[in-house]
Amino acid sequence: MYENVALVGATGAVGSIVRQLFEERDFPFQTIKFLASARSAGKTITFKGTEHTVEELRPESFDGVGLVIASTPDETSAEFAPWAVERGAVVVDESGYWRMKENVPLVVPEVNPEAIEKHAGIIASPNCSTTQMVVAMKPLHDAAKIKRVIVSTYQATSGAGVAGEKDLEEGSRAALAGEAYEYQAFSHPIAFNLIPQIGSAKHEGYTSEEMKMVWETHKILNDDSIRVCPTCVRAGVTNCHSESILVETERKLSVQEARELFDAFPGITVMDDLANGTYPMPLQSSGKDDVFIGRIREDLSCDNGLAFWCVSDNLRKGAATNAVQIAELLVGSQVTA
């Protein structure tokens, strides 16, 4: 039933990577259509050597479509996803609108693939900062049950879209030249700076981005008892989110056991040799699909604590790759709405 595919937000940064992944991974389909806003409709896209015209997103766009992958603003997803579901399609959605809805599974394929069986037409992909963290948490949680997480993120400007990337590039040029620059995506200069706020004020001093990490972690791991304390920071890095993560477990995990658990888990690559300067960094991780982990060490302040550093491409595993992996689960299992 998933032979006919539609990609919504086809001309955006994430949509472009989805197209690339479809080609790289030889995703199976009979027909494919590319949908976008009226502003982008009429543009042409080359896909698998053939030119396709981008169509305007309308209710009838989903006639005969079985599978939709979408990367759009929340308000767009809220409007179009029901159109697709009414016509019998399953929507894999990247926006934040559906993630915490009760009848919508929130899925990271390495972590909770079984959750797709509960879908009612829509499957949500998590926030990028949550995705890489739960991939890192899952093997530790299964082995020793995580009680508490303290996480500080260093999030790339690409997470704020094209405008965010432009702000970093043009703002840096202006700063070096001693010139003024009017920032579009950020309320403070991002060039040579860190901004300790992503999202709006949400809950008792935490931002919306930080609360996403709390609520989404609980839903994905199906465990509301895990205490999560996040601090989300925008950093002057073009691509790849980095996270400093400290977990406290019920059973003590040694560094060696944790490294072995990480090594054995799908989608994780361990880079952990402090003496030789080997650890994950955004420049090395960009354009790759894995979650990279290093700086693994025991927490000196807590008996059952473990600290580590985690880097992942927020546009790939944090968005496009995760959505395509969900679609591959659907195609493989032929789960129906």
pLDDT digits over 289-320, tens only?
Answer: 999 999 999 999 999 999 999 999 999 999 99
Q: Burial level of 29, CB count in 10 A (0-12/13-18/19+)?
A: middle
Residues 155 and 257 in one domain: yes
The DSSP call for residue 187 is S
Residue 334 has pLDDT above 60, yes or no: no
Residue range 218-227, pLDDT digits in tens: 999 999 999 9
Q: Rounded mean pLDDT of 161-178?
A: 96
Q: Which residue range is the domain that position 169 belongs to?
A: 130-313
- Of 119, 141, 240, 241, which one is the catalytic site residue? 241
pLDDT value for 47: 92
Q: Rounded mean pLDDT of 90-97?
A: 96
Residues 77 and 145 in one domain: no
pLDDT value for 14: 93
Q: Per-residue confidence at 104, pLDDT binned at 50, 70, 90? A: very high
* Structural domains of the chain, count: 2
pLDDT value for 333: 65
**241 among known catalytic residues:** yes
Q: How many CB atoms lie within 10 A of CB 99?
A: 22
Residues 203 and 115 in one domain: no
Residues 63 and 92 in one domain: yes
- Of 128, 232, 240, 310, which one is the catalytic site residue? 128
Q: Rounded mean pLDDT of 144-161?
A: 97
Q: Rounded mean pLDDT of 257-263?
A: 98
Domain of 236: which CATH number? 3.30.360.10
The whole model's pTM is what? 0.94
| % pLDDT > 90, the chain | 94
- Nearest-angstrom CA–CA distance, 233 and 236: 10
Which structure tokens are listed for 37?
A: 């806003």
Q: Per-residue confidence at 148, pLDDT binned at 50, 70, 90? A: very high
Length of the chain: 337
Residue 176 has pLDDT above 70, yes or no: yes
Domain of 46: which CATH number? 3.40.50.720
Residues 134 and 121 in one domain: no
Residues 81 and 157 in one domain: no
Q: Rounded mean pLDDT of 70-80?
A: 94
pLDDT value for 38: 87
- Nearest-angstrom CA–CA distance, 201 and 321: 29
Residue 172 has pLDDT above 70, yes or no: yes
- Nearest-angstrom CA–CA distance, 4 and 88: 11
pLDDT value for 332: 85
Residues 136 and 284 in one domain: yes
9-13, 107-111, 170-174, 321-325: range with lowest mean pLDDT: 9-13
Residues 108 and 137 in one domain: no
Residues 139 and 274 in one domain: yes
Residues 23 and 44 in one domain: yes
- For residue 74, the SS3 value is helix
Q: How many CB atoms lie within 10 A of CB 196?
A: 11
Q: Per-residue confidence at 3, pLDDT binned at 50, 70, 90? A: confident
Q: Per-residue confidence at 337, pLDDT binned at 50, 70, 90? A: very low
Residues 246 and 301 in one domain: yes
In sequence order, which residues have a C-beta less than 8 Å from that of residue 162 and are 6 or more positions away?
A: 13
**232 among known catalytic residues:** no
Chain-wide mean pLDDT for the chain?
95
Handedness of CA 14, 19, 20, 21 (dihedral sign): positive
Residues 117 and 134 in one domain: no
